A and B are shown apart, each in its own frame.
Chain A
Amino acid sequence: MNLKQSVGKRLRGHDEDAELNLTAVMNVFLILIPFLLLTAVFVRIAVLELNLPNLNRRSATAQEKPSQTVVLNFLFIRDNEFELRVPDIKFPKLAKKGGLYDWQGLQKQLAQVKKRYPGSQDIIISPDNSIKYDIIISVMDRCRESGFPNISISG
C-alpha cells in the first residue's frame, strides 16, 4: 500500500468528523499579528493649514484673479455666542445652549451664506481672547465643511 492510498483511506475513514489542519494558518497569524501590532498607528495626526498675509504673496494673488469678487464673511466667537456677519444678510446671534455652542445653527447659517454667494470661499474668524484653541479648531472644521476653505483668523 503506497502513501497516497493510505492517506486516502485514513481520510475516508474519518469522514464524519474531519478536522482541518490549522497549523499553517496559526503560523501565519503568529507572524502577522506581532508585525501589524508593531506598525499599527492608533493616533493619526493631521495638519490644518493657515496662511498669514504676506506682502509678496498678496500682490501675486491679486494680479492672478482680479475679477473675483470677495465677500467678507465675518464670524465672531464670543464666550457665550457665535455671530455671523455677512454683507446684505442679517443673522441672529447664536447663543450657547446648555453650555454648548450651537453648532447646528452655525452650519445652517453658513449654508444660507453659501446659497446667497455660491462663489464665496473666504471666511474670517475672529475669536475673543478667552476662547479655547479647541473651539477655534472646531469652528474651522465647520467652516471648511460648509464650503469656506479659505479661513483667516483675525485677532
Chain B
Amino acid sequence: MIMNNNQKTFNLSNTRRTKRGTFTLRLTSMIDMFTILLVFLLKSYSAEGQIVTVSDDLRLPESTSQMPPRVSSVIAITQDWILVDGRPVEKIQEVMAKKDLVIPSLNDELLKLRAITEGIGEISAQMKGFQGNIAIQGDRDITFDLLKRVMLTCGQVGYNNLLLTVVQKE
C-alpha cells in the first residue's frame, strides 16, 4: 500500500516536470512593485546628510516649519534629564524642586561651552567663534515651566538664538 502510494506521487511529480521543459518567469508584477518602491524612495531621498541626531527616548514635537537645522551645540530635555551635547547635567526632578528660574548646573555648563567656542574663534579665523546659537531638543511632553527655566538660563549665558528642534510634518 505504502509502496503503491509512493510510486504514485513519484509518477505525478515526474510528469509535471517533463511537461514544461523550459519556462520563463513572469516578472511584470515584480517590476510593478519595484517601480512603486523606486518612486517612493526617490521621493524620500535627500542629498544632504543628517546633522542632527536625536536620542531614542526623545519624542520631538511636530511642526510645519521648513527651516533646515544648523550646526550648533544641543541642549536635550528628556523626561528625566537635561543634557548638554549628550552629557547629563541635571535631573529634572531636582530642577523642578527648586524655585529659582536659573538652573545653576546648566548655567555653569553653558559658560564652559561658551568659553570653549570663544577660544576656538580666537585661535583660527576660519572657525566661527561664539555666535549665540543653541539648539533645544525638547520632549513633546515637557511643561512650559521647565522650558522657560532652560531658555532663561541660555539667555543669561548669552545664547540668544534658540533653535527649537522639531520633526517636520508631512
Do these two chains really belong together in a complex? yes
- Which chain B residues have a beta carbon within 8 Å of chain A's beta carbons? 24, 27, 30-31, 34, 37-38, 41-42, 44-46, 50, 52, 54, 60-70, 101, 132, 135, 138-145, 147-148, 151-152, 154-155, 160-168
Interface extent on A, as a size class? 35 or more
Given contacts A48-B67, A141-B63, 20 further A-B contacts (CB under 8 A): A22-B27, A36-B38, A36-B42, A41-B50, A46-B166, A49-B161, A49-B163, A49-B164, A50-B161, A51-B160, A51-B161, A52-B151, A129-B144, A129-B148, A132-B142, A133-B61, A133-B140, A134-B141, A137-B166, A153-B148
Are A127 and B144 in contact, CB atoms less than 8 angstroms apart? yes
Measured CA separation A29–B145 after assembly (Å): 52
Are A47 and B165 in contact, CB atoms less than 8 angstroms apart? yes
**Residue contact B154 to A25, C-beta cutoff 8 Å:** no
Q: Mark A106-145, 1 if CB is under 8 A from B, else 0.
A: 0000000000000000000001111111101110110011
Interface status of A32 (Cβ within 8 A of chain B): yes
- Please report A residues at the B interface, Cβ cutoff 8 Å: 19, 22, 25-26, 29, 32-33, 36-37, 39-54, 57, 127-134, 136-138, 140-141, 144-145, 153, 155
Whether the Cβ atoms of A48 and B154 lie closer than 8 Å is: no
Residues of A within 8 A of B52 (CB): 45
Given A47-B135, A50-B164, A133 and B69 touching (CB < 8 A)? Answer: no
Contact of B68 among A43, A47, A132 (CB under 8 A): A47
Chain A residues contacting B38 (CB-CB under 8 Å) are 29, 32-33, 36
Mostly, the B contact residues are mixed
* 18 A-B residue pairings within 8 Å (CB atoms): A26-B30, A33-B37, A36-B45, A45-B60, A45-B166, A46-B167, A47-B67, A47-B70, A47-B163, A47-B166, A48-B164, A50-B161, A52-B151, A52-B154, A129-B144, A133-B140, A141-B63, A155-B101
- Flag if B68 contacts A39 (CB, 8 Å): no
* Shortest distance between the CB of A21 and any CB in chain B (Å): 10
Which residues of chain A come closer than 8 Å to B70, judged between CB atoms? 47
Contact A137 B42 (CB under 8 A): no
Bound-complex Cα distance A37 to B38 (A) = 9
Question: Which residue of chain A is the closest to B152 with respect to CB atoms?
Answer: A155
Contact A132 B140 (CB under 8 A): yes
Contact of A141 (CB < 8 Å), options: B34, B44, B64, B143: B64
Give the chain B neighbours of A48 by CB distance below 8 A.
Answer: 63, 65, 67, 163-164, 166
Q: Among B69, B144, B164, find the residue whose CB has the most chain A CB atoms closer than 10 A.
A: B144
